[in-house]
Amino acid sequence: MTAPRKTDPREATSRPLRVRDGATFHCVGDGLCCTDVHAIGPVTVPEATMLNVVHEGVACYSDVAETHLLAMRGDTGTCVFLKPMDEEPRPAPCFLHMSLPALKPRTCHRFPFSLTATPDGGRVGTHHRCPCRTMGELPLVDVEDAEEALMDGEDVSADLHVTTVPLSGTERVDFEHWCEEEAKLNDAMQRDLKGALGEAFPALEGGEPWLAIAERFRSAADDSRAEIAMQWFGDGMPFGAPEPRERPWAPAFARAEARSEARDPVAMWLDWARDEIWSLRWVAYCRSFARKKRELATRLAIGQRVAARLVEAGTRVDRAAAEAIMVVDVVGVSDWWTEVTDRMPG
């Protein structure tokens, strides 16, 4: 990890880039990130215009997302630019990546990285919804690789700027004090992840109860992998009985299982939780550290119930954890879950 630099405590900067110790990633072409497990976007208007020159209709405006997204194949739920996964060469199944890299949308170019500018430099975070991030013995995230992915023109660009951090609804601390709080939490999570995060499924402020929330997630439409992930997420809540579910993302995880030895699922959950805290993306939507811990504790509880269900069905333990992490990672950025998070005390 790059050492912090001294700077004005009010200034957030993207340099130097800082990678969390222990974070791993290597794209081996498992292909899940290029499917409707999440909406592939946003795609800017100039990007959409250029892509639609290549093939009309590949970048479409979504009224739901209120932005352009890459179109998915109706039969496979995969990006229209994705090669069939049984073709060679791999790992480069994307037509744009192989033939027209300059036309790759910014969102594809950056995945799975995010960047938060802070007074100590740019924190490189990673999304965990792809087995290229979670399964097998993967190399540590390389700063140069992250920098290349995060370039926007002549320099890297931050997704978020953070100078002070809200511990609660009434208390904010400067970044130096936040780093001290974060170090304490990391130590506690290493010893006892659930205990460090605290209460899951806290009492909500107003609105529908947890039982109704679980039923709403379970009844999500099943037109995409993302919506099926929402169904599994609802089943992971300890309210009501889970139903038989398909796993349209299974081929990607089967490829990952075939290329890898089993990992410790406890370490996988800890890695995910540490990245959630480290990235600081939560400052924008949780608005306080107290709320973030409750939100994260709840998704951890849900994810581990999903993983246990998969293990009972005969899934290898690390693959079960990886699939469950994908579920909670995808749903964690959904509007439905943000509405629930807003009602948690914090």
| Cα separation, 52 vs 342, whole angstroms | 38
Per-residue pLDDT tens digits for 99-110: 888 888 888 889
For the whole prediction, is pTM greater than 0.85?
yes
Question: CB–CB of 281/125 below 8 Å?
Answer: yes
pLDDT tens, the chain, 346 aa long = 334 444 455 699 999 999 999 999 998 888 888 888 877 878 899 999 999 988 888 888 887 677 888 888 877 788 888 876 555 445 457 888 878 888 888 888 899 999 999 999 999 999 999 999 999 999 999 999 999 999 988 999 999 999 999 999 899 999 999 999 999 999 999 999 999 999 999 999 999 999 999 999 999 987 888 999 999 999 999 998 888 999 999 989 999 999 999 999 999 999 999 999 999 999 998 989 999 999 999 999 999 999 999 999 999 999 999 999 999 999 999 989 999 999 999 8
pLDDT at 72: 86
- 155-156 and 59-62 beta bridge pairing: unpaired
Nearest CA among 282, 310, 317, 308 for reference residue 296:
282
pLDDT in tens, 3-20: 444 445 569 999 999 999
Cis peptide before 16 (omega within 30 of 0): yes
| Six-digit token string for 168 | 């609660």
Q: How far apart are CA 323 and CA 307, in angstroms?
A: 7
